[in-house]
Amino acid sequence: MGDVLNYLKKLDAYPKINEDFYSRTLSGGLITLVSSIFIVLLFFTELGLFLTTKTVNELSVDTSRGEQLQINFDVTYPHLACSILSLDAMDVSGEQHLDVVHNIFKRRLSPEGKPIDVGTKDEIGGPKVQTGEVKVKESEGGPAYCGSCWGAEENAEDCCNTCEEVREAYRRKGWAFSNAELIEQCSREGFVEKLKEQEGEGCNVYGYLEVNKVAGNFHFAPGKSFQQAHMHVHDLMPFASQKFNVSHIINKLSFGADYPGVVHPLDNVRRIQEADGGMYQYFIKVVPTIYTDLSGHVISTNQFSVTEHFREQEVASGRSLPGVFFFYDLSPIKVKFTEQRQSFLHFVTNVCAIVGGVFTVSGIIDAFVYHGHKVIKKKMELGKLN
């Protein structure tokens, strides 16, 4: 025990001057040991702060013009077949994209939710028919076969060689597509049989849209869409015998690129319904965001908040279209995130302040303990301590 006490005395960083020699005390050694531990703890705390990256937030008015907004999505419909589902996008500027097929992919799912034909990534729909384009195709009708559009031709030389081209011609005319089995092209391709084959299947739709940076909406709904008397209409005639359960799982939905720490409120949202029909509506407020990392790399993207609403199908009026609708609006405020780290000079200054501050305070405490002990000891010797 005596050796330990002598060792603690040797640690005393505050030796006391008694006329012509220094003396070290046990209290001084203890204070030195405690202050050294305290200095080490504060040093590693400051080192952690120096190595930690902090993000500084800044708000400003969004003055960008003429930019495009990229919408990334991955949505699974367990009870809607891929042949039924279509995607439309429109905005307040009047621009419309009906039955979007570019950069959009589908994956057929079995009733158990397992992928069918794994590995295939087919774009939804197919090539669109260009107005006035004459198509000559080898078929049973002869080497220069030109199929009829069944009254939907815009020009006398238009041809509809496939069932999809007939449906597209009907869509442009704003006609309902009924009695598919009576149309030669659809009968030859087994259109009705394919629809029946896919009954009960699900569909996983994923990809991205590029739209104008203005308020708008995009939606997934059954049937081909078209405009009729300034109204957005979906043709459900080919699927009249089917029920439309719009249960869905939003695996991912984002507006722009991801950045560190971003949270997408609709990721992994599940909305499963027992009854068929109904309209799911998501009202989204998009906030333009700029993220700058330590290396100076800038990511221009968006955050968003969302509220949702479900409307039951109005069977009597027939005005409620079953589907999943995303209505988005843009905030006029832009958020800027900038990664920053404490400068090395600031770190060195803080470390010096820690060492000097703890050393000074410890010296004051040691002096107080030492002189207090001397006063008490002197009073005890004089018998004045009661």
3-state helix/strand/coil string of 131-164: CCCCCCEEECCEEEECCCCCCCCCCCCCCCCCHH
User: For residue 163, with 0-12 CB atoms within 10 Å meaning exposed, 13-18 middle and 19 or more buried, which class applies?
Assistant: buried
pLDDT tens readout for residues 175-186 = 767 677 778 877
Contact 234, 225 (CB under 8 A): yes
For the chain, give the percent of residues with pLDDT over 70: 79
Q: Which residues contact 33 (CB under 8 A, 6 or more apart)?
A: 8, 11
Over residues 43-57, mean pLDDT: 88
For 6, 82, 95, 360, the CA distances from 78, given in Å and listed in that order, are 79, 10, 31, 71
Do strands 279-292 and 269-271 pair parallel, antiparallel, or not at all (unpaired)? unpaired
DSSP state of 80: S
Q: Give the residue with greater pLDDT, 81 vs 230.
A: 81
Q: How many CB atoms lie within 10 A of CB 184?
A: 16
Euclidean distance between CA atoms 67 and 286, whole angstroms: 14
Euclidean distance between CA atoms 97 and 193, whole angstroms: 29
Euclidean distance between CA atoms 32 and 30, whole angstroms: 5
pLDDT tens readout for residues 135-167 = 444 444 455 678 888 777 878 778 888 887 887
pLDDT-derived band at 23, boundaries 50, 70, 90: low
- The backbone region for 230, taken as left when phi is positive above 0, alpha when psi lies in -120 to 50, beta otherwise, is left
So what's the pLDDT on residue 172? 75
* Residue the block writes with tokens 């089917």: 242
- H or E element: which one contains 112? none
Least confident range from 55-69, 194-208, 231-245, 284-298: namely 231-245
Residues in the chain: 386
So what's the pLDDT on residue 141? 46
The token pair that represents 292 in the structure block: 């700058």
The token pair that represents 281 in the structure block: 């509506």
Q: How many CB atoms lie within 10 A of CB 232?
A: 15
Q: Give the residue with greater pLDDT, 337 vs 238.
A: 337
Euclidean distance between CA atoms 79 and 109, whole angstroms: 9
Euclidean distance between CA atoms 9 and 205, whole angstroms: 76
DSSP state of 345: H
Domain boundaries of the chain, sorted by first residue: 2-52+342-382, 59-339
Contact 161, 215 (CB under 8 A): no
pLDDT-derived band at 319, boundaries 50, 70, 90: low
Please state the φ and ψ torsions of residue 338, each to the nearest 5 degrees. -125, 125
Q: In 110-262, at which residue ranges do the beta strands (DSSP E only) sit?
A: 122-123, 137-139, 142-145, 202-212, 216-222, 224-228, 231-235, 248-255
Q: Give the residue with greater pLDDT, 301 vs 277.
A: 301
Euclidean distance between CA atoms 286 and 69, whole angstroms: 10
Do strands 231-235 and 298-311 pair parallel, antiparallel, or not at all (unpaired)? unpaired
Helix pair angle (344-382, 26-51), 10° resolution: 160
